[in-house]
Chain A
């Protein structure tokens, strides 16, 4: 990448990063009323026409526009990594489609769950929605970049009980393995800095998934371990295998490597664990966006922070419009941790 392009990205990134809601302000945002939150999203325009269902799509489409602008000067392996990272959002479309078709939901209700990803969209959503049965949809999926999950989707569809979470796990695992593979093609300096942030993200996901698989879904240690994604910064293969064999959440947390065991000490509630781990990643991303010498690491940090902001605003507006208690919203969004 040319030095001029790097300076351009750094400047644009600096401007966009300044507009992010800092983690220290999450609690204050949750205390705002719905109108002021919507004004934050729309910039005060067309408030009368605004519908609450649009919140997520609007937040995402604005974020994607910014990502598009930031990614444009990149090419080769760097662009491949960044574009692949943004396809994370498409996985929710993929899961909604498969779940909807498997459970016989109407096209209208499936469509409501889909997110418009603009140029980042790889799935031919209209064509897939038009599929008359799951078998047809899976044949169509075979012609998309997500063909690798089709075989397992078929096994699950034809099996009794249709264990959809296993499919979700496979989809996530494929994604993060793919992202880790693309990370390995970056230059060594970027790999080092980005690897550290990516590792923390994987630690967060692997802890949460391991707890879910073992203690919520009751899977065996072997199966739980197999469904986990690529290894993280603190949780290496050996750690994960050892943790998968433990029988209680308490044991699992106490056996985590430092500083994870201290962070999660005495936490048995999955939501709290999730919030603390999210905070762990957000803090790392906030640090990277300010200080990392690698531009691509700062960009990836921006993607993570923007995603967290989208979740915060979406959940807060949704919660408030359903008249949920602020304390509850605070707990659900992690505002109390931040």
Chain B
């Protein structure tokens, strides 16, 4: 019943080591092998022949990524390589990448340094406004004489107190002459003999010296000119370094192209290397391939490999189902629903793929909750308008819209008007109780299918004990049926006797028996846990079933919202009336439509999937050539 997934076979490929790189490229071109790490013969095949290659590749790739940020946006590599890649080729490419990066890094460092200088100068320029008002001789701030040395500059405010105390130990004087947001402008005066020690301390405190040229010492306005000139110089330096970077890239394009091609061609082998085991000249890899691809792989390898190789194939063993990757058959109609199922999880190989069940029930529930011919048509129209930007939405919105239109036809509702067309069935407001009963029956049907699917999945995944006794197995199904039967008799016939009690207690006993087998701890602990579990099971059945009442509630809500819009519109003049009806409908489509879409998803995930779908499968990820840029 795994009709939506592709059947898989286990592949073991043994070959001569020298052929491994070629084989990796051929397999990557075919995109048919999902590699796995082998756990067979690990003692015998204890070497990891591709490990060094893999490390080299990672290092080369990271280095190339650093270079690639400087490449033009539209650049891409076209070089094709013929020879298989060796460790030596990778090492050569790594050295080339290192050479290019060293030049770029040097430029980058100079740019950084210039930017830092610009920041400092800008800070200084900002503070000069204050210096002018202070009326001080700036020359005095950078004075060096025979006996004293004066340092002038900035430190982070957080360092000030510690610095003041430290300088007092060296008998150096410190004065703060200006404070900015988080920096202090300071002057430190010290004995000339101690200047080196003081400078060391200042550096530890993050000191930036303000250099004041001697000829401008007493003229703040000239200092500003000087700063502006220096800022321009630094900016020029940055511009010229950026030009040099462009130049380096231009001159190295051929090498970069070559490195990029090497990465592209080495990538499959590097990926494969992680799964490769071997001894001496023999290497072996394992993976999963889609059924029927054996011939294609064999032919491709025969055409390219120099030495003989051995391919062994077998079906998955019952105990390894969890590790078999899952690959869905391409079905365009199911694609958007598959994406939503994948958000919850990937089916384990052999597990029932819920996509089709999800698609049918989701579309039906959406229509039931949002039944309106006009609104459904708008949803389809939106899907058509957005088809280029969001192609996956067209099918999804078309089906949801069609369902909405179909139920709108049953309800006789078009853009909220309930009396324009005659309902084929009835308007939701006509008999809300009947609608709630229908929703409840729908929920019971939905949950019954979910239980059956769960039993199927547990058997398919070789969990027969659970299929019998678990709360989502046969015992759980019987409990659900028993609870529905008892509930029905109690509510409709007002009877709850031995028959109803037994209908619940017998399957509940089976569920608890199943749980008892797995519980650990002392007997009183186990009894307590079982009691809690019994309570939990009964409450869950009730809450899960009642949860489907929202299907009816939202269809009533839809009509109620439309009524509210019409009531507001009726209070307005003709123009206001039209605007209100228009915006009211937009509001209903966007807000209520969105809420209904989410509520349907919630019912699917929590009431359906959580019961029968593990979602713990692995996606089929074949080895393939990936573009570097």
Residues of A within 8 A of B (CB): 126-127, 130, 132-133, 135-136, 139, 151-152, 155, 166, 170, 177, 220-223, 225-227, 237, 241, 244-245
The residue of chain B having its C-beta at the shortest distance from the C-beta of A226 within the complex is: B166
What are the interface flags for B155-192 relative to A under an 8 Å C-beta threshold, 1 for contact and 0 otherwise? Answer: 00010001101111110100000000000000000000
A139-B109, A155-B203, A222-B198 known, 13 other contacts, Cβ within 8 Å: A130-B66, A132-B98, A132-B105, A133-B102, A152-B203, A177-B158, A222-B167, A225-B166, A225-B169, A226-B162, A226-B166, A226-B201, A226-B205
Asked if B166 and A139 make an inter-chain contact with CB atoms under 8 angstroms apart, the answer reads no
A126 to B172, CA, bound (A): 45
Q: What range describes how many residues of B lie at the interface? A: 20 to 34
Closest 8 CB pairs of A and B: A226-B166, A222-B170, A222-B169, A135-B109, A222-B166, A221-B169, A225-B166, A220-B197
Asked if A225 and B165 make an inter-chain contact with CB atoms under 8 angstroms apart, the answer reads yes
Asked if B109 and A222 make an inter-chain contact with CB atoms under 8 angstroms apart, the answer reads no
B112 at the interface (CB under 8 A from A): yes
Asked if A133 and B166 make an inter-chain contact with CB atoms under 8 angstroms apart, the answer reads no
| Among B98, B158, B168, B204, contact of A223 (Cβ-Cβ < 8 Å) | B204
* B457-489 residues at the A interface, CB under 8 angstroms: none
The residue of chain B having its C-beta at the shortest distance from the C-beta of A238 within the complex is: B165
A132 to B67, CA, bound (A): 12
Q: Which residues of A contact B194 (CB under 8 A)?
A: 220
Q: Which residues of A contact B169 (CB under 8 A)?
A: 220-222, 225, 241, 244-245
| Majority secondary structure of chain B interface residues (helix, strand, loop or mixed) | helix
A171 to B63, CA, bound (A): 29
A sample of 14 inter-chain contacts (CB < 8 A) reads: A130-B63, A135-B105, A220-B169, A220-B170, A222-B166, A222-B167, A222-B169, A222-B201, A223-B200, A225-B165, A225-B169, A226-B205, A241-B165, A241-B169
A166 to B202, CA, bound (A): 13
Asked if B165 and A132 make an inter-chain contact with CB atoms under 8 angstroms apart, the answer reads no
B62 at the interface (CB under 8 A from A): yes
Q: Which residues of A contact B98 (CB under 8 A)?
A: 132
Q: Which residues of B contact A136 (CB under 8 A)?
A: 105, 108-109
Asked if B108 and A226 make an inter-chain contact with CB atoms under 8 angstroms apart, the answer reads no
B101 at the interface (CB under 8 A from A): yes
The residue of chain A having its C-beta at the shortest distance from the C-beta of B65 within the complex is: A130
Asked if A132 and B170 make an inter-chain contact with CB atoms under 8 angstroms apart, the answer reads no
* B257-271 residues at the A interface, CB under 8 angstroms: none
The residue of chain B having its C-beta at the shortest distance from the C-beta of A156 within the complex is: B203
Q: Which residues of B contact A151 (CB under 8 A)?
A: 206
| Among A135, A170, A237, contact of B165 (Cβ-Cβ < 8 Å) | A237
Q: Which residues of A contact B108 (CB under 8 A)?
A: 136, 139
B236 at the interface (CB under 8 A from A): no
Q: Which residues of A contact B167 (CB under 8 A)?
A: 222
B59 at the interface (CB under 8 A from A): yes
A72 to B163, CA, bound (A): 39
Asked if B101 and A132 make an inter-chain contact with CB atoms under 8 angstroms apart, the answer reads yes
A135, A226, A237: which has the most chain B beta carbons within 10 Å? A226
What are the interface flags for B95-112 relative to A under an 8 Å C-beta threshold, 1 for contact and 0 otherwise? Answer: 000100110010011001
The residue of chain B having its C-beta at the shortest distance from the C-beta of A136 within the complex is: B105
Q: Which residues of A contact B200 (CB under 8 A)?
A: 166, 223
A304 to B204, CA, bound (A): 29
Q: Which residues of B contact A152 (CB under 8 A)?
A: 203-204, 206
A225 to B98, CA, bound (A): 43
Q: Which residues of A contact B205 (CB under 8 A)?
A: 226
Q: Which residues of B contact A237 (CB under 8 A)?
A: 165
The residue of chain A having its C-beta at the shortest distance from the C-beta of B190 within the complex is: A222
